[in-house]
Structure 1
């Protein structure tokens, strides 16, 4: 889920335009200083009077559930099963850029949010920071806040939807699962390899180092390690498929 969706040539201009609108709506909702990190957007200097911030930098519109899910119905279906209620209509191409699916973040904090190192819990319309890893593995911007600190979104405009409690809690729950299952280092390595390949920096046989095929081989290895040498091959195949699903 971490990589951002890369538009095809036919939908690139539309995706870019929607992303700009998405970011502008987040500014309208939360102002020009990020709620998380207290970074002033570079293009908004000087800041409005009374604004508190620690540094200047570019702010990005971060999707709580990644843009790529809008083009993957199976992923939306899986997220609905995981959530216990349908989220498919919230994540379509027309809805994925709704501000209820967005946060304003600096690039570094955006990156670790996509890697599920922290999340936002929303209960009774109260948003709390949940750090999923030690401070040393987080950004200095995020470490300006204490774990469980309460955030106030929508202070500038109540006309723009605040982050969806459902989507925030789904993102956080996925983060907990990845942390407790200890599989995220493997997934992170695979995603890093794919980014290298997309950038043209990976040589040799792509199948051997990246993508779903690499993940499948790793999962087969994990499955095999949990069985004796005489394990039924059909049962092993079923286990791998269950893990991948």
Structure 2
């Protein structure tokens, strides 16, 4: 089951002491969809990175299902990401020397021996679900931008995470591919009861989410529910 999220008195500051992000309170129910919107540099990606444990806040609590990840060690936060999160990045972060299936099933390389085959099987399943079932052995450099992002989505889902965090997943795609990928991402998250948090400038993708938060100058200035 997806964990609920509770953020309290969150603050991220620069080395010079400038406030980059300040969130007094943010709560998200398990399985809910949330779009983070705002101008470039507003603090959207910083918030996403804090929620993932990639960035430790200067102050405050980031609680997933009762676990304050801001209080964890770096190793413990890494374990939390492996066990709980599926991450999707704007530039995909695929390995060119691996096949589509190799990239989608990458988490199997870090799993205990007994867990490797299920991850690889799940990777093949999600590639097929996303329309790449016949392309698992093809080299990544042979895929279009839309196909590469679908491989990244399959990789995020392969480990069965209850939470998906995506940073501008449709930004590099044309309108048709962005709409198709956005629809699939939202549908697959909903079908699995997963929490989905997306940073996006894509109004079409944001509209598919149950909730939209707008960030400006590191602060939440608007919070709307569908």
Q: Structure 1 length as normaliser, TM-score?
A: 0.24
In terms of fraction of residues, the more helix-rich structure is: 1
Higher RCO, Cα 8 Å, sep 6+: 2
In terms of fraction of residues, the more strand-rich structure is: 2
Q: Structure 2 length as normaliser, TM-score?
A: 0.26
